[in-house]
């Protein structure tokens, strides 16, 4: 068996959580990440017949039966992952009936996966249905995005438009727009269902007054989506009350046409 502490998926997860912490997006135990792993790759590091313990999923995860995920732990701090991945992370396999997560590695102190496990798993189901290359769901509390929620309506077309108008990168990076949920109780199956519904048509979902979900084929892509929204939310908040130039709709359309992108419907008139 190879040394799991040297596995690319553990190193990349440690680097990403540390990076997010340093951005100031993940205070205390804020944020959580899950990555769908390749079974054959995991088998190079772990005996897949050795289940340490089982943890109830508390929702129907049957559509993910047999799939293996690397998931940040509940109550754990992103800033601590690098120095102790085995306590702060876990590798779980969804049981055949979808009611249990079989712990294959990690959560060494008896812990378990993030409280947002339902939102993560339901988002994986939704994204895999539209994109077979999808692998990562990352949740974070970026400051300016949450600040934008306090001054903007919880309306996804309006929110997307404001981002597209503030930074020319936005329509290119997320032509599919940003899904927006109203302020809801987090950690529940309900918010998981609502998030997954948005994930059918968006790779980014904002939880009003809470934070953001970014998804993608790898950690870089999920991180990059969050980073682009957050940078643009910062531009928006810094210029609030002093705006003389926003990107005209015809330029947003021009950018989309130049890059052959299909943009979220109903956001611009052009």
Q: Which of 13, 31, 37, 177 binds ligand 2HA (CB under 6 A)?
A: 31
Candidates 18, 186, 235, 261; binder of ligand 2HA (CB under 6 A) is: 186
Binding residue count for ligand 2HA, defined by CB under 6 A:
9
Which of 38, 30, 21 minimizes the C-alpha distance to 217? 38
116 catalytically annotated: yes
166: tokens are 């503030």
- Residue 177 or 211: which CB sits closer to Zn ion? 211
Among 265, 66, 215, 79, CA closest to 206:
215
With binding defined as CB under 6 A, does residue 215 bind ligand 2HA?
Answer: no
Give how many residues touch Zn ion by CB under 5 A.
1
Q: Measured between alpha carbons, how far is 70 from 67 in angstroms, rounded to an integer?
A: 10
CB 168 within 8 A of CB 259: no
Triad 237, 234, 76: Cα angle to 5°: 120
Piece of the chain touching ligand 2HA by CB under 6 A; list 29-37, 148-156, 252-260, 261-269: 29-37
- The whole-angstrom separation of Cα 153 and Cα 208 is 9
Alpha-carbon distance 68 to 95, whole Å?
10
Given a contact cutoff of 8 angstroms between Cβ atoms, the answer to whether 79 and 21 are in contact is yes
Residue 224 binds ligand 2HA (CB under 6 A): no
Min. distance of Cβ 209 from Zn ion in angstroms? 11
Judged by CB under 5 A, the chain residues 185 through 224 that form the site for Zn ion are 211
Query: Which residues are registered as beta bridge partners of 70?
Result: 35, 91
- Residue 29 sits in the site that holds ligand 2HA (CB under 6 A): yes
Q: Is 30 in the site for ligand 2HA (CB under 6 A)?
A: yes
Q: Per-residue x/- marks for ligand 2HA, 129-168, CB under 6 A?
A: ----------x-----------------------------
CA angle 14, 18, 21 (to 5 degrees): 145
Q: Which of 15, 86, 116, 189 is catalytic?
A: 116
Q: Which is nearer to ligand 2HA, 133 or 209 (CB)?
A: 209
User: Stretches 25-33, 58-66, 77-85, 162-170: which one binds ligand 2HA (CB under 6 A)?
Assistant: 25-33
Give the CA count within 13 Å in the CB-facing half-sphere of 91: 24
User: Which sequence positions are flagged as catalytic?
Assistant: 116
């Amino acid at each position: 068996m190879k040394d799991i502490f040297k596995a690319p998926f553990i190193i990349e997860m440690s680097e990403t959580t540390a990076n997010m912490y340093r951005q100031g997006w993940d205070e205390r135990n804020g944020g959580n990440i899950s990555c769908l792993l390749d079974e054959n790759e995991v088998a190079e590091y772990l005996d897949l017949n050795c289940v340490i313990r089982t943890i109830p999923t508390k929702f129907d995860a049957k559509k993910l039966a047999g799939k293996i995920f690397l998931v940040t732990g509940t109550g754990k701090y992103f800033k601590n992952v690098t120095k102790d991945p085995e306590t702060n992370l876990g590798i779980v396999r969804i049981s055949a009936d979808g009611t249990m997560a079989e712990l294959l590695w990690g959560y060494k102190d008896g812990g378990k996966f993030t409280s947002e496990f339902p939102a993560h798993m339901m988002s994986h189901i939704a994204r895999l249905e539209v994109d077979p290359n999808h692998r990562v769901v990352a949740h974070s509390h970026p400051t300016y995005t949450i600040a934008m929620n306090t001054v903007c309506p919880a309306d996804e077309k309006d929110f997307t438009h404001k981002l597209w108008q503030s930074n020319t990168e936005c329509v290119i990076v997320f032509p599919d727009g940003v899904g927006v949920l109203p302020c809801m109780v987090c950690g529940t199956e309900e918010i998981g269902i609502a998030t997954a519904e948005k994930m059918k048509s968006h790779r980014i979902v904002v939880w009003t007054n809470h934070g953001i979900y970014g998804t993608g084929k790898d950690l870089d892509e999920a991180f990059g989506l969050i980073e682009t929204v957050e940078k643009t939310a910062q531009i928006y908040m810094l210029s609030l009350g002093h705006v003389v130039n926003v990107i005209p709709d015809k330029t947003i359309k021009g950018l989309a046409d130049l890059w052959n992108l299909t943009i979220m419907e109903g956001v611009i008139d052009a």
